[in-house]
């Protein structure tokens, strides 16, 4: 038997983004990740890590891979 109610549809939380800028042949990757305990977002760019205060710009046209986890029901 299949569940058809809207409450039963799985939902997901975004917890990481890999961004690529450049061309197909050359470029640079920057990662943005949500801390698993504080839920703060940070940007990882080579050897530097920065806190992201404005989360409205997290997903951009440079987003290459989005990482999601399924919410627990």
- How many whole angstroms separate alpha carbon 56 and alpha carbon 26? 27
Q: At 73, is the secondary structure helix, strand, or coil?
A: coil
**What pLDDT shows up at residue 16?**
97
Q: In order along the chain (73 residues), what is the average pLDDT of each group of 10 residues?
A: 66 94 94 95 96 87 94 79
pLDDT of residue 1: 55
Euclidean distance between the first and the last CA atom of the chain, given in angstroms as a whole number = 19
Task: Map out the domains of the chain as residue ranges.
Answer: 12-70
d(CA 43, CA 59): 12
Predicted confidence at residue 9, as pLDDT, reads: 78
Q: Please tell me the number of Cα atoms within 13 Å of 44 on its side-chain side.
A: 9
Q: Residue 15: what pLDDT?
A: 96
- In this prediction, residue 34 carries a pLDDT of 96
pLDDT at 32: 96
């Amino acid at each position: 038997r299949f569940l058809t109610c809207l409450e039963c549809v799985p939902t997901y939380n975004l917890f990481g983004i890999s961004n690529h800028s450049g061309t197909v042949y050359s470029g640079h990757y920057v990662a943005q990740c949500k801390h698993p305990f504080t839920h703060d977002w940070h940007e990882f760019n080579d050897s530097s890590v920065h806190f992201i205060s404005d989360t409205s710009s997290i997903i951009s046209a440079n987003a290459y891979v989005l990482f999601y986890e399924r919410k627990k029901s």
